[in-house]
Amino acid sequence: MNRAAIYAGTFDPITLGHLDVIERAARVFPRLILAVAERTTKVPLFSLDERVAIARESVAGFPKVEVEPFDGLLVAYARAKKVGVLVRGLRAFSDFEIEFQMALTNRKLAPDIETLFLMPNEDYSYVSSSTVRQIAELGGDVRPFVPEPSRKALERKLGLARPGFAAG
């Protein structure tokens, strides 16, 4: 296993909270793979190709970060990439139970792969992609929650061109 880490998620779309976790993980690891999940229990707004493109544009300023799509078990993907650490963001206490269960399951499946939990800055601890999508769908200003590539993608996808979505 190498000293890289994987931060996986649906990133539908990528938020400032995600970018905060990415920045923190990139300070710890010499290489970080942002793995965009194809299969999800959620119904994504954006296609896999769109989510990968938004993520790539959003992390363009992070030279240690690569963005790749993936499908299947995360631990199998990590083994194929020879990566021994999975990074997970913990926004709020409500995330802990689900993330803890997933980490223990991954440990049972792959005891050689560790899960590292990182907390985002408290300014982003309440931000989720689903909340951002709902704000966008209802015409709210998403600029405080997402990087510019996500804002533009939401505008295009939802056909929005009104205050709160226009560059400003």
Q: What is the CA radius of gyration of the chain?
A: 16
Model confidence over 115-144: pLDDT tens digits? 999 988 888 888 899 999 999 999 899 999
81, 88, 91, 151: the catalytic one is 91
Quick one: how far is CA 62 from the chain centroid? 14
List 2's β-bridge partners, or say none.
83
Tell me the average pLDDT across 78-104. Answer: 89
The residue range of the domain holding 153 is 4-158
**Would you say residue 167 has pLDDT above 60?**
no
- 125-128 — which CB contacts under 8 Å span 24+ positions? 125/17, 125/91, 125/92, 126/91, 126/92, 127/15, 127/16, 127/17, 127/91, 128/15, 128/17, 128/91
Cα separation of 33 and 29, whole Å?
10
pLDDT digits (tens, 9 = 90+) for 33-49: 999 999 877 789 999 99
pTM for the complete prediction? 0.90
pLDDT above 50 (res 93): yes
DSSP class of residue 136?
H
Is 80 a domain residue? yes
Please give the tally of structural domains in the chain: 1
44 by DSSP, 3-state: which? coil
Catalytic annotation on 82? Answer: no
Of the residues 3, 39, 42, 156, which is catalytic?
42
Phi, psi of 133 (to 5 degrees): -60, -40
Structural domain contains residue 92: yes
Q: Directed axis angle between helix 48-58 and helix 148-158, to 10°?
A: 150
Residue 168 lies in a domain: no
User: Among 18, 51, 81, 88, which one carries the catalytic annotation?
Assistant: 18
Query: Does residue 166 belong to any structural domain of this protein?
Result: no
Mean of per-residue pLDDT scores for the chain: 91
152 annotated active-site: no
Which residue out of 129, 133, 150, 151 is catalytically annotated? 129
Residue whose structure tokens are 């539908």 = 12
High-pLDDT (> 70) share of the chain, %: 93
Q: What is the pLDDT of residue 168?
A: 43
Q: Can you read off the two tokens belonging to residue 72?
A: 């299947």
Q: Is the pLDDT of residue 166 over 70?
A: no
Let me know if 133 is a catalytic residue.
no
Question: Do the domain assignments include residue 167?
Answer: no
Domain CATH number, residue 40: 3.40.50.620
Is residue 59 pLDDT above 70, yes or no?
Answer: yes
164 assigned to some structural domain: no
